[in-house]
Structure 1
Amino acid sequence: MKRKNFVKTVAFVLLAPAVLLTACKEAEKKKITAENQQTYTCSMHPQIVQNKPGTCPICGMDLVPFNKNAKDATLTLGESQIALANITTMTVGISALSDYKQLNGRLVTDPEKTTVISSRVPGRIEVLYVKETGVKVNKGQPLYKIYSEQLAALQQEYLLAAAQVKQFPDDTRFQQIEKAARQKLVLYDQSDAQINQLLQLQKVNPYVVYPATASGVISELSVSEGQYITEGGAIMRLEAYHQLWVEADIYPAEASAIQVGQSVKVIVAGWESEPQTMTVQFINPALQSGSQLMQVRGSIANPDNRWQPGLQANILLPVKSKGNVLSLPVDAVIRDGKGTHVWIEKAQGKFEPRMVTTGLENFDAVEITDGLTAGDNVVITGAYLLYAEYMLKKGADPMANMSKHQH
């Protein structure tokens, strides 16, 4: 019996290494198989990972393959990929940065660019050449034709005075009368060409066409064809929009932060990427009716009339500033649950994420207090595409295993 147990023990001792070796090989084989096995993730939800194709249980998008064993924290892109993703960089440098307070405002027609067309003579509107508002007219363009007996009488008076001068050319009295009669026609907006034509034809014409005295858009039409109008009666209003007022509201306690002549930034709704510079021209010392607000005003150019009166336009009033800071455009900084980071171009086409700490921030720039040094080449457009590409290729957040860059 003892002999039999001894044989079993010896056999076990001899076979154990072989069994262990086989088990190790099987484990190694399974490990290699697992490492080489293709994995899939959702490009929108990288926390979804599985070993076979399928759809995302969150958004329903098709899963895409990725390499879960990739340890390199950098991304390498070709020239075509960089161009397609619109990835641009800038070299970080020291500059000043200001914080702003936003004042709610609006664009308003500039009264100095408004012209009221009124009748120089009493009479009847025979023809309106422009019959609706919103139409653009140019200086010199015919606007209306009027029938005026008073103007006809003045024309007849001038013809008689001119005939007397022609008959008695040396009589200074007749010359003065002719000059006065001509001046009356000029005061009724008769041009030299019209007066000379009257002399040439020797015929009174009670129908007179009046042109636009300025260019602009018709904002108000006060008469219609066939209507009688008195001398000085308003016919239409023209507004030019190549320059607009910007009016913004401010509380009296905040008024000390702004002064006439100060330069401020203006953001027109829909054109946030194109801030305009405006000089404050007027601060109303009285409160607006029915409110506890004062009003700040300035003017901005309106190229090609692309903005319309009534659009929202906010004034950015600087309230705090810092000098000698590192700053980046807001779009260059990516924020998620694990922190704040930017992308650095380490070499041509090679990008690396870096954790940063931010400070003062305004609508278009943010201060970097830690994580960067002057001279770093930082991605300022396309950073979010790099972030998405990293999660797609690596299957993980770029900040998951990264601490702040040490300097």
Structure 2
Amino acid sequence: MSRAGRTGLTLVAILAAGAGGYWAGHRNLARPATPWLQAVAWLEGTATAPASANPAPKGPVIYYRDPDGLPAYAATPRKTADGRDFLPVHSADDLSFEDKPPAVAGAVAAAPAYGGPKRILYYRNPMGLPDTSPAPKKDSMGMDYIPVYAGEGDDSSAVKVATGKLQRTGVRSEVATQQVVVRPVRVPGTVQLDERRITIVATRSDAFIDKVADVTTGDRVKKGEPLMHLYSAEIATASAQYLSDLNEGGRASAGARQRLENLAVPPDVIAAIDRTRQVQTSITWAVPRDGLILERNAVEGMKASPGDVLFRLADVSTVWIVADVPEYELGAVKLGAAATIRVRSLPGQIFSGRVALIYPQVSKETRTTKVRIEIPNPDGLLLPDMYADVEIGSGSNAPVIAVPDSAVIDTGTRQVVILDKGEGRFEPREVKIGLQGGGVTEIRTGVAAGDRVVVAANFLIDAESNLKAALSGMTSLEAAP
């Protein structure tokens, strides 16, 4: 055969081999052993390259980890003691702080249970959407669906969370304890005079004021001190009749004495008539009680008609704090409850008292009820109409089961706490709550003393539990004939 013929046959053989390889490759046919190809190392390496290489990592590098899996991390590139580079960890990597067993070809992904592998029931959406699949798949963002194994639905209310995920999400739990729950009710108030300690100085007959003591509004006076001197014709006539009875029989009639008392003549004036046997033209009117002069209307030389207010006095040794309690807080305020008062004009000073009266009326304009607190005021520091900040204690004196406020998930229609059963197992529990105060909430039913409840990141566990219950319900419906 000529040289041209041999060359043509060689080209035909090469074309045939290429076409056969293309056809076999598209039909996944096994490649026979080719000693001549194995003799060329670089061709053999190309031909035997694995079909499914590891995909390129996605996302930015968030830190670097030890190449041997040791708990050593770095924020910037770093080398080991023997000169090897730390491995970069990208944001899209599936991180876990738990030890993972090495992958074994043909093995089931789940760990053996009861001597055999777990069976995958279905795959659920990684974002928590109500979407399941009987086969592995990805969502629209490229995230793998999460397998759900047989036996995980035995307790539909409990959920298991990996230890690494607990550390990353910041789940924290505390023990439910028995304690006294005190709920302070903070409301505004004002200082008011005790209505029972206010006195009006007035005459019961026409009188003329001869002299007024050197006192003015705001002065403090004591009982028995002279307040004013006045002349009253009616009082003088009654005094003369009383004296006449004394002189005639040596003893005054009861009617004459009663008339003087009806005219509000001070007892010491009547006693002076008995002693001196003389009628006093000008009567000295004394201060009826210790207190503060709130109003002075008496003027020397004026004529006072019956009932005219000449002086108004008040004893300020005890005052009232009248607080405005909102209608929705009224049920927490009880008679005898301790109260703490801080007056804005006296910073740093605290006054204590107790609730003496809850007024039986709600204001239509403000929807508040007035609550009266009586407190001593021996130094007279509290003045009428001062503003005050009132804190009224409420709650039961008996200890109750209580948990931190953050442990209670309130949906508006029900209240739930997450019980920590240990080893990463959690169970949502519906509860009935009571008083709240001091950062804790009373639990009336659903939790016992000593139970551990989740106080941080409990919303994440509750969402996982609700998702698990929903998926279990969907699986049951799909399995039903």
Normalising by structure 2, we get a TM-score of 0.42
Normalising by structure 1, we get a TM-score of 0.49
Q: Which has the higher helix share?
A: 1
